[in-house]
Amino acid sequence: MTRPLPFGAGPAADRADLADVMRRVAHGDKQAFSALYDGLAPLVFGIVVKVVRDRSQSEEVAQEVMIDLWRRAARYRPDAGSVTTWAATIAHRRAVDRVRSAQAASDREQAQASREHTTAFDEVAEQVETRLESEQVRRCMRGLTELQRQAVTLAYYQGLTYREVAETLRTPLPTVKTRMRDGLIRLRDCMGVTT
């Protein structure tokens, strides 16, 4: 069963009829737009679905193209090409824009996921490294004499000055300085730090 042509009796008549319909659409004729829609929607959808490849998105894009034809009808110039060519061009551009937009969104999501994944990995690695270093410091601190350990702990973990450490430990200041220097040298050697 063949479907009747919506315009004229052939391609030349269709071009003239579509141009006339487009002029009426430009003046806000809703019946003319209905005829334009019936005549161009299959063509527009066919172009869009070939580019977009997703049926639901293609339907959405085709609908946008048809609305665009309604809004831009006054801009159509018959001397620049047929209504069919104009509609096909708009449909193709919209479809390509949709594909590019979807690709850009996908690229952004992948980049964000990659950044988040790297950050999470770096945080875990950093926590492990900090934990291992802390354990090594504790092990090396156990290798110090009691006075060295107390002096280093007071100075580096509680922020006391040499004088305050000497007062807290009730030890002469020169002795505290010597013990801390010797303790720091032992810590440095134990930790494998080179200067």
pLDDT for residue 11 is more than 70: no
Please give the helix or strand (H or E) that residue 5 lies within, else none: none
The mean-pLDDT minimum among 4-13, 79-88, 159-168, 174-183 falls in 4-13
* Overall average pLDDT of the 161-169 stretch: 92
**Alpha-carbon distance 162 to 165, whole Å?**
5
Q: Which residues of 51-140 form beta strands (DSSP E)? A: none
- Residue 5 pLDDT grade (very low, low, confident, very high; cuts 50, 70, 90): very low
Percent of the chain with pLDDT over 90: 51
pLDDT for residue 125 is more than 80: no
At how many degrees (to 10) do helices 30-52 and 83-142 cross?
50
Burial class from Cβ neighbours inside 10 Å (0-12, 13-18, 19+) for residue 151 reads buried
pLDDT for 88: 96
Whether the CB-CB separation of 102 and 51 falls below 8 Å is answered with no
* Overall average pLDDT of the 116-139 stretch: 76
